[in-house]
């Protein structure tokens, strides 16, 4: 279903996936989860940026808070539980085709998280899950903006309040 609750976007004659050539931006979330100084990355299996490493995340569902969506997507993609430390920043991902038309458009609310439980393993939307030293990100095939997003997340983690905001561990 589309974020508005209808299946119209799936039935339109658009090239590629149902999210290609959108009429409006899609609202997504991601979370930079840290464990022992390393950040969790998942290899994308779908466009845009299929094959590149990214922060775990996905689309917000109707009626879901941004934090709840980030924690749900984290668990669905890589089977890890975390608590949200802080909002990090928003990321705009706009991809144009060779004719200049908008092929993909996402606005992503990115959060900072701290690992609670679960061993990272790929789910249905992640081809691989790895813990990486933030200093090594520049040498890895990653989605755009990831170095700046992780650097900001690391700063927020180091300045965090002592009490977690929200947890997906039951």
Domain count, the chain: 1
| 107 domain residue, yes or no | yes
Question: pLDDT category, 170, cuts 50, 70, 90?
Answer: low
- CATH number reported for the structural domain that contains residue 142 in this entry: 3.90.79.10
pLDDT greater than 80 at residue 72? yes
The DSSP 8-state label assigned to residue 135 in this structure reads G
| Selected catalytic residue, list 61, 76, 114, 128 | 128
| 7 domain residue, yes or no | no
In this prediction the pTM is: 0.81
Average pLDDT, the chain: 85
In the chain, % of residues over pLDDT 70 = 84
For 143-163, write each residue's pLDDT tens digit: 989 999 999 999 999 986 565
Question: What residue numbers bound the domain in which 156 lies?
Answer: 20-162
For 112-136, write each residue's pLDDT tens digit: 999 999 999 988 878 899 999 999 9
Q: How far apart are CA 120 and CA 39, in angstroms?
A: 11
| Among the listed residues 114, 125, 112, 106, the one whose alpha carbon sits nearest the alpha carbon of residue 27 | 106
What are the C-alpha distances in Å from 49 to residues 24, 53, 86, 89?
Answer: 19, 8, 26, 20
Tell me, yes or no, if 151 is annotated catalytic. no
């Amino acid at each position: 279903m589309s974020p508005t609750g209808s299946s119209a976007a799936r039935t339109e004659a658009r090239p590629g996936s149902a999210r290609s050539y959108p009429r409006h931006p899609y609202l997504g979330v991601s979370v930079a989860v840290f464990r022992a100084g390393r950040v969790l990355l998942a290899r994308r299996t779908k466009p845009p940026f299929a094959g590149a490493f990214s922060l775990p995340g996905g689309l917000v569902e109707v009626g879901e808070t941004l934090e709840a969506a980030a924690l749900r997507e984290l668990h669905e993609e890589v089977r890890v539980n975390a608590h949200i430390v802080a909002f990090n920043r928003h990321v705009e991902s706009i991809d144009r085709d060779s004719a200049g038309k908008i092929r993909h458009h996402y606005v992503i609310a990115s959060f900072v998280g701290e690992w609670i439980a679960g061993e990272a393993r790929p789910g249905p939307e992640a081809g691989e899950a790895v813990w990486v030293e933030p200093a090594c990100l520049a040498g890895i095939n990653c989605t755009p903006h990831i170095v700046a997003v992780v650097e900001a997340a690391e700063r927020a983690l180091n300045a965090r309040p002592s009490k977690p905001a929200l947890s997906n561990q039951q």
